[in-house]
Amino acid sequence: MTEHTKTDGLPEAMPDGLSRAQVLERSAPRNERMATDKIECNACPVLCQISPGRVGACDRYANAAGVLVRVDPVLLLRRTLESGSAALVPFAARTPGDAELAPADADADADADALALQDDIFVTGVGSGTTYPDYKPAPFIVASRADGVDMVTVVTEGIFSYCSLKVKIDTDRWLGPEQANVRCAGEVVGHVTTAEYGSQMLSLGGVHHLTGGSKKEGRITCDMMLRLGNKQAVELSIDGGSQVVVQAGRAPIVNGVEEQRMRVGCGSATVGIFAKQFFGLADEVVVVDDHITGVLTQHQAGRCLAMRPSGIKIRGRKSTPGRYFQVANPGTGWGGTDLSDPLAIIEGWDAAVAWPGLRLLMVSTTGEHSACYELDATLTPQPVVMPAETRAVVERIGENCEPSLSTVLFLAGAGGSLRAGVTDNPVRLTRAIKQALVNVTLGGAPAYVWPGGGITVMADVMRMPDNSFGTVPTPAIVAPMEFSMRVADYRALGGHMGHVCTLADVLARGAWHSDGAPTARRFEAIAPANAWPLGQPPLLG
Ligand code: SF4
């Protein structure tokens, strides 16, 4: 492969009487010796001056005997059977510690394996390093072959001021009003956004909280995003609502109670799904739901089963037959309402229609709450023991509820270094992504590319490698990103062809701006849920 030289995009004649070599030297990563034995890191705008043996403000770069090094090893993924490899080949185990100041010694066995299988190795942005200012080529621009086609992957860690987390919390319990502030350690870090089917949604982080408030708000927002992105637990409080502990891939904890079940559906859907199974076991079934409460005999499902009207009158606003809105206030009781007594939503019974002995089942959308009643002579519901057959249907509602999870999606826009690190003419990269010529991944995880302008991507942090995220104190989030495409397309979009290197180059001398110091690396199998990033169609909007 070509040497790391030449195509820096600079004209031969430079302004201010400087030679081209002088300008290049000035813009290179500095490793610059200060008056003392400190060196200056210029991987981000903070420009830390780092003493020997110490790390910079972000804990990501260090001064190792006068050489600026990226502390964490770069992560290389290997293809597995699940992700489409012809064979699953074990690597020699090697995982250097995170805090090594010097680049780790090469593990000859692992490197030999990697080189023997280089088409099954993918260099990720995790630990790859950042470049600043933006025009510098990305740390790694790696050549490979996929299905006989010459490919290239541009690998970097982006610094994101424009980024947020979209958090889906599977619970019926009311977390707080939409638009309410979400706080972490007392600072506003986001808001409650539109609820979805069986889930409450939070929008956290973002440029306004990172940069638009106080220093403390920005710092706490950044730390909260870092921890959630790295799959750690974060406690949040919602103004006028609940306390919730969120952790990607784990059940949410609402007001100290771990959520168990995501509801099978709204009250109307639950009536519709289980109507035939309720039939014959109860004369009336009410599925209590904060959003849409279902009443079986009035619902189309009950009518199709020719069920006898019960004469029940439900509080709230009737939407369509057997479907009621606003039967109670939202809360953490039955079906996401504030009810502990479900009978509170019954306004009364039509004496001309209802009858003594009528069997009533009330149940929540998860089956967690349920009770049976019979109308007495005054048409007042009296509690009765639930028959076994009815209990079985209630348990089936619970069986159809999936485990509650918190899901954390990272959403970010590719900024200056990410785009100019790929090409001198970044709009061509944007166009190539929109034309499905470029696959965008985050730590090897597939990214959904939003339609419209820019390169706005979204990825599930659970599909990204552990500890993919970092921060810099500007404050901003650091996250890996890779752009994979055919070499021919890379050349056509004006890529930094002079910086294309082989996997052997990556292993032998690290990132182009590391002064030839080998970069510590570690190998992992790609997550089984992820397709191999090379040669797969991108997830386009
Ligand atoms: S914060 Fe980190 S990346 Fe930025 S200059 Fe300091 S050490 Fe370098």
The span from the first CA to the last CA of the chain, in angstroms, equals 35
Helix (H) or strand (E) holding 505: helix 503-509
Check pLDDT > 50 for residue 97. no
pLDDT for residue 35? 58
Q: Residue 203: left if φ>0, alpha if ψ -120 to 50, beta else—which one?
A: beta
Q: State CA 402 to chain mean position distance.
A: 20
Cα–Cα distance, 418 to 414 (Å, whole number): 6
CA-wise closest residue to 515 among 89, 17, 13, 39: 39
pLDDT for residue 189? 98
Q: Which residues contact 303 (CB under 8 A, 6 or more apart)?
A: 297, 321
Mean pLDDT in the chain? 89
Name the pLDDT band for 519 (thresholds 50, 70, 90). Answer: confident
Cα–Cα distance, 525 to 161 (Å, whole number): 30
pLDDT for residue 488? 95
Name the pLDDT band for 148 (thresholds 50, 70, 90). Answer: confident
Cα–Cα distances in Å, from 22 out to 15, 522, 538? 11, 36, 41
Triad 184, 185, 188: Cα angle to 5°: 45
Contact 204 CB / ligand 1 (< 6 Å):
no
Contact 345 CB / ligand 1 (< 6 Å):
no
Cα–Cα distance, 42 to 269 (Å, whole number): 57
Name the pLDDT band for 83 (thresholds 50, 70, 90). Answer: low
Contact 57 CB / ligand 1 (< 6 Å):
yes
Nearest atom in ligand 1 to the alpha carbon of residue 130 is 3
Confidence (pTM): 0.87
Give the mean pLDDT of 362-372: 97
Give the mean pLDDT of 144-148: 89
- Name the DSSP class of 25: H
pLDDT tens, position by position, 30-68: 554 555 789 999 899 999 999 999 999 999 999 998 889
Backbone angles phi, psi at 398, to 5 degrees: -60, -40
Least confident of 29-38, 376-385, 449-458: 29-38
Residue 190 contacts residue 205 (beta carbons within 8 Å):
yes
Check pLDDT > 90 for residue 7. no
Name the pLDDT band for 12 (thresholds 50, 70, 90). Answer: low
3-state secondary structure string, 435-469?
A: CCCCEEEECCEECEECCCCCCEEEEEHHHCCCCCC
What the block records as the tokens of 25 is 């030297």
Contact 44 CB / ligand 1 (< 6 Å):
yes
Cα–Cα distance, 401 to 262 (Å, whole number): 5
Check pLDDT > 90 for residue 452. yes
pLDDT for residue 22? 60
pLDDT tens, position by position, 390-428: 999 999 999 999 999 999 999 999 989 899 999 999 999
Check pLDDT > 60 for residue 371. yes
CA-wise closest residue to 287 among 355, 353, 385, 366: 366
Share of the chain above pLDDT 90, in %: 76
pLDDT for residue 29? 52
**Centroid of ligand 1 to alpha carbon of 520 (angstroms):** 18
Cα–Cα distance, 343 to 327 (Å, whole number): 11
Q: Which residues contact 415 (CB under 8 A, 6 or more apart)?
A: 134, 158, 159, 160, 161, 162
- Compute how many other C-beta atoms are within 10 angstroms of the C-beta atom of residue 310: 25
**Centroid of ligand 1 to alpha carbon of 356 (angstroms):** 76
Structure-model confidence comparison of residues 539 and 201, the more confident one: 201
pLDDT for residue 14? 56
Cα–Cα distance, 439 to 442 (Å, whole number): 10
Check pLDDT > 90 for residue 72. yes
Cα–Cα distance, 244 to 258 (Å, whole number): 9
Q: Which of 54, 61, 70 maximizes ligand 1 atoms within 8 Å of its Cβ, making it the mutation to test the pocket?
A: 61
Cα–Cα distance, 18 to 108 (Å, whole number): 44
Nearest atom in ligand 1 to the alpha carbon of residue 56 is 7
Check pLDDT > 70 for residue 161. yes
pLDDT for residue 74? 94
Name the pLDDT band for 107 (thresholds 50, 70, 90). Answer: low
Least confident of 33-37, 99-103, 201-205, 483-487: 99-103
pLDDT tens, position by position, 436-449: 999 999 999 999 99
Going along 185-264, which residue ranges are E strands? Answer: 187-196, 199-205, 234-238, 243-246, 253-254, 257-258, 261-262
Nearest CA to ligand 1 atom 6: 48
Name the pLDDT band for 238 (thresholds 50, 70, 90). Answer: very high
pLDDT tens, position by position, 257-307: 999 999 999 999 999 999 999 999 999 999 999 999 999 999 999 999 999
Cα–Cα distance, 347 to 314 (Å, whole number): 5
Share of the chain above pLDDT 70, in %: 87
Triad 362, 365, 371: Cα angle to 5°: 25
